[in-house]
Chain A
Amino acid sequence: MDRQITVFPMPKTGKISLVVAPRGVVQTLMSMLATLAQRGRVIVLDGGNCFDGYALARALRRSTHQVQAALKQVLLSRAFTCYQLVAMLAELPVDGTPVIVLDMLSTFLDENVHFTKRQRLLANGLNLLRQISAGAPVAIWARTRSSPVGDEDRQLLIPLLETAHDIWELQAPHTLEHQLPLF
C-alpha cells in the first residue's frame, strides 16, 4: 500500500478530508503526520489502537534530525469506546491545531452498545468535527475490513462520507495468486 500511495494532500482548514482504506494505509498516514509535525502541533485521536510510533519516528528521521522535538509536537489520545471518542472530540482545544482521527469507526462497531445509540453518538462526533474543522484542518481515516461486521460497517460509513469534503478511497493491491513462470 505505502509503495503505491505515498502522499495525501495536506488537510485544510474549513474542510474535512476522509481516507477510506484498509489497515495498510497506516504507514502512509504516519508519513503525512510526520510532515504536519514538522510544521507545528498536531492532535491525533486514535480510535483503533493503531497509532504506529515507530513508523512515525522512521518517517521523521527521513526528513529531520530533530525527531524527539517533532514527536513532542504530536499529541495523542486513544479511545477504546465510542463514548470516549465523542468525549475526546468534545474536549479538544479549538486553537487551529490540525486534528487527525485514526480508524474512527472501530469503536462504533462495539456490539455491547445498541446500534441506534452508536449511530447517534457518531452523529454527535461528526457534528463536533464539523465545528472543529471550521478553525482547523481535520482528516479522518475510516478503516475498511476484509471481513466486515455485518452491514454495520457500511451503515456507519455513510454519515462519514456525507460529512467529508474530500474523500480518498483506497483498496488493497491485488496479490498474485501464484508465482508467474519466468519464461
Chain B
Amino acid sequence: MLEFTGWLLDLFEDPREGLVLYFIDEDGARRRLIYPFPVTFYALGSDVELRALWRHLSNRPREITLRRTQRMDVFKRRMVMALAVTVQNPYEVSKVFRQTAAHFPHLEYADADLQVSLRFAAKTKAFPLSRCRVVADEDHKLETIDILEDAWVLKTMPIPLRIMTLSPDVAPHHARPHYLKAAIGDEEYHFDLQTWRPLLVNLRALIQRYDPDLLLTDWGDTWLLPRLLQQSEKYHIPLGLNREVGRGVSWHEERTYFSYGQIVYRGQQIHLFGRCHIDRQNAMLWDDYRLDGTIEVSRITALPLQTASRVSPGTGISSIEMLTALREGILVPWQKQQAEMLKPAADLFTADQGGLVYQPHIGVHKHVAQIDFVSLYPAIMVHFNISPETILPDPQGDNMVPALGLAIDTSQDGLVPKALRPLLEKRIAMKKYLASKPSWDPFRKNFSRRASALKWLLVTCFGYLGYKNARFGRIEAHQAVTAYGREALLRAKEAAEDLGFEVIQLYVDGLWVQHPDKTQPADIEPLLLEIQARTALPISLDGIYRWVVFVGSRQDKNRPVANRYFGVFQDGSIKVRGIDARRRDSTPFVSQAQMHLLELLASKDQPEEALPEAIAFLQERLRALRHRQVDLSDLLVRQRLGRKLAAYRTPSPAARAVLQLQSVGKEMRPGQRVPFLYTLGRPGVFAWDMPQRPNPQAVDVARYQRLLLRAAGIVLESWGWDEKRLTEKMLSDASQLKLPTLPKPHPEKHGHQVRRLTDSQASHALSGP
C-alpha cells in the first residue's frame, strides 16, 4: 500500500496499462502510478442504425462493452436513446471511434474526442496540478485520489516544480545560435552548439541528475528539441527528455487558422511524457501571464500543463464547458449539427447589432470617471442564464430578451452559466484582492498573472458562444448576450444622466462620465450603486482621469473614433487605447517616443507646461534618427503575413519581406509576424531575419520621421501641435530658427547669438500654440 500527498503532474494513455499518472510527492519523490480507466463514447441514431452498430462492435467483447442508455441532449432539451460504447483501454478509444465513424458515417456521436484528462477530472475530480491525497496498491495501481484544493481556491500551496530552462543564445530564425544555455535554479551551463556529442552527453547527465518536472525552453517546439532529437539519434545518445521510459516524444503539427477575423499561426509542438515541456516562444499569452497564469489555466480547464500552455483561451473555455457537461451527464456532441433558427429577415436588423457604442466627444476632458462593468458578457450569461439550451424561440413568460423575439428558460441552470459561474466569481475575488492589497504584497504578482489568465478565458467565452465549431455555441444565445449588454449600458447611461453626470463616451461595457463637482472616487460610489441596482450586474470604477483625450480618426480628425484615447489617472498612471504606443505593429522607436511624450504630459500639473520639453525631446529623437544613432532593432516593424504569398496581388511590406526570406530558403506561414525595416529604394523593406546585416545607411529615415511625427501629433494635437504643424516646424525650415523675440543683433554678432542658443531655448522658441 502506498499513500502520499502531492500534485498530479501529468497523465496520459498507455497501450498496455490504461492510464499512466505522474505525481510530485510532497516528500520530494516523483511517483508513477497506473489506472485502468475504461472510457465511453456514445452513438445516436435510429434503432435500426444503432442495432447495426451494435452487431458490428459486439464481436470484440474483451476490448469493448456495449449498452443502450439514455443521455441528456442539451440541444433537444430531453433525454435521448444512445448506444454507449465503452473501450477498456483509453489508448484505443480514438482508433475504435475513427473506425466506427468511418463505417457508420450517418450516425451522430458524442463524448468521442475528449482529452483523457477531462474524463479523469470528471470521474475523480482530480485535475492536472491539483494537490491531492493518493492511495495506491503495491503494484502502483491507483486506488483512491481525493483532491485537497479545488480549482477555485484563491491561495494555493506552491508546487515544488523542478524547472530546467533551455535556450539558444540567439533566436534561431534570425541568426545561427552558437551555444545552448541550460539553467536549473541558480546554476547555469553553456554548451557549444558546434560540438554535438559533448553537448548531448552533458545535457543527458544534467537531465538525469536533476530530473526536471518542466523543461522550459525558447524555440523548443520549432527548433531546439527537433535538433536535439535529430542529433541524439545520429550519435546514439538518448537524452531522456521523457520521464516515461520507452515512449518517444509526441509531435503536433504546425497550423494556421482564423480567429476573430485574423489569421493566426501556431508552430509545431513537442509534448513529453511524465515531464512537461513548455516553449515560451510558442506558448499562448506567455508574455502576459507566464507560468503562474499557465498553471491556473491548466487547473481550471483540466488540461495537462503542456497542453494548457499552447491552447487558445477559446479551447480553454471549451474544455471547461465539456468538463461541466461530463460531470452533469450531458452529451458532448462530436460535430454540432444544431443550426440557427429560421427567423424573419426583419429580425436580423435588431438581433445582429453587437455592442453599444456612443461616440466620444473629441478633445481633452478633465476629471472624467471611467466605469466598467466587471466581465460584462460573462456576467450577463451567468446572471440571465444564457446557454444554448435555455433560449426559447417562442416569446413567453417574463424573461424576454430585450428587443429580440426570444425568451430565456430560467427554470434550471444552463450548462454555460454553470460552467462560467465559478470562473467569474474567482476573477472578481482576485480583482478585489488585488485592489485591496499594497504593491509589495507577496501574492500580488502571482495573483495578477492568474487573474490575467482568467480574464482571457472570460473575454473569450462570449465569442465562443457564437463560434461555428463551439460544442455548446448557439448564435441566438450570442445575440441575446449582446442584447442584454446594450440594455445594461443604456440603463447605466440613464442612471448617470439622472444623477447629473455628462456621458462622454459609451463603449460596449464601459462608460466615461463627468461631473464638475464629483471628482473623487467616493463621489462616484452612489452612481455605481445606482447602476448596479438598475442592471443587477457588477460594476466598478476603473479610475478618475486627471485628463483624458479622445482622438479623431486618421482619415478625418473631426470624426470621433470609439475606443481611441489616452489619459492620466489621478494616481499618475497612464492608460492608452488604439494609438501607436499600444499597437503591436508599431516600431519600438515610435511607440516608446509616443509613450515618453505622454509621460512628459502626465508629469506636469497642466499638460501644456510640458510642451517645450516634449518638442525638445522630439527634436532629439529626430536628430538621433538622422544621425543613425537609433538602434536598428528599435526601428523594426512586426507585421503579420495575412495570406499565402501567391494570394497577394500587390504584396504588402510584410509580404515583400517574406519574399526576401524565401530567396534565402526561409519559409514563413500566413499568421506569422515578420520583422523588417523600411529601407530606401526597392523593395522598400529589409527582412530582419536575412543572413546579412542591414545597412544603416539604407534605412528610410524619411518614413520613420513621418511615423514619429504622426504618433507625436496624435498626442500633442489637443495642445495645438498636430502632425502637420510638427512636420512644418521640424522638418522643413525648423532648424533655421527665427528669433523674433531676441533683440536685433549687430550683423557681426548674429552668428554668435545663434550658436549660443541652447536646446531648451530652441524648444521654447518652437513652442506655443
Query: Which residues of A come within 8 Å of B, CB atoms?
Result: 43-44, 51, 53, 56, 68, 71-81, 83-88, 91, 112, 117, 120, 147
Contact = CB atoms under 8 A, between A and B. Distances in A.
A58 B585 CA distance: 40
A75 B342 contact: yes
B371 interface: no
Interface in B330-365: 335-346, 348-349
Contacts of B105: 117, 120
A112 to B, nearest CB: 7
B346 A83 contact: no
B348 A84 contact: no
A6 to B, nearest CB: 21
A120 B335 CA distance: 15
A56 B344 CA distance: 13
Nearest to A84: B339
Contacts of B338: 84, 87
A117 B335 CA distance: 12
B343 A77 contact: yes
10 contacts: A44-B345, A51-B348, A53-B349, A71-B344, A74-B344, A75-B343, A76-B345, A77-B341, A78-B475, A112-B469
Contacts of A68: 346
A78 B345 contact: no
Nearest to B466: A80
B56 interface: no
Contact of A53 (B341, B342, B345): B345
Interface residues of B, number: 20
B522 interface: no
Contacts of B348: 51, 53, 76
Contacts of A53: 345, 348-349
Contacts of A147: 646-647
B468 interface: yes
A43 B105 CA distance: 28
Task: Tell me whether chain B's interface is mostly helix, strand or loop, or mixed.
Answer: loop
Nearest to B470: A80
B72 to A, nearest CB: 19
Interface in B305-348: 335-346, 348
Given A71-B345, A77-B340, A84-B468, 15 more contacts: A44-B345, A71-B344, A71-B346, A72-B346, A75-B343, A75-B345, A76-B345, A77-B342, A77-B343, A78-B340, A78-B475, A83-B336, A84-B336, A91-B339, A120-B105
A112 B257 CA distance: 10
Contacts of B469: 81, 112
Interface centre among B336, B345, B348, B349 (most CB of A within 10 A): B345
A83 B337 contact: yes
A77 B468 CA distance: 14
Contact of B344 (A75, A88, A112): A75
Contacts of A85: 339
A53 B353 CA distance: 13
B337 to A, nearest CB: 4
Nearest to A71: B346
Nearest to A82: B335
Contacts of B646: 147
A79 B345 CA distance: 15
A179 B726 CA distance: 38
Closest 6 CB pairs of A and B: A80-B468, A71-B346, A74-B345, A84-B339, A87-B337, A75-B342
B642 to A, nearest CB: 13
B339 A43 contact: no
Given A80-B468, A147-B647, A56 B339 contact: no
B335 A76 contact: no
A65 to B, nearest CB: 15
Given A53-B348, A81-B469, A147-B647, A43 B342 contact: yes
A84 B333 CA distance: 13
Contacts of A87: 337-339
A51 B345 contact: yes
A83 B335 contact: yes
Contacts of B336: 81, 83-84
Nearest to B343: A76
Contacts of B339: 77-79, 84-85, 87-88, 91
Contacts of B345: 44, 51, 53, 56, 71-72, 74-76
Nearest to B644: A147
Nearest to A54: B349
A84 B337 contact: yes
Nearest to B467: A80
A88 B337 CA distance: 9
Contacts of A78: 339-340, 475
Contacts of B340: 77-79, 84
A81 B339 CA distance: 9
Contacts of B335: 81, 83
A130 B335 CA distance: 25
Contacts of A83: 335-337
A83 B469 CA distance: 10
A138 to B, nearest CB: 16
Contacts of A74: 344-345
B337 A76 contact: no
Contacts of B647: 147
B325 to A, nearest CB: 19
Nearest to B346: A71
B470 to A, nearest CB: 10
B468 A76 contact: no
Nearest to A86: B337
Contacts of A117: 105
A79 B475 CA distance: 10
A72 B342 CA distance: 11
Nearest to A88: B339
Contacts of B349: 53
A129 to B, nearest CB: 16
Contacts of A112: 469
A80 B340 CA distance: 9
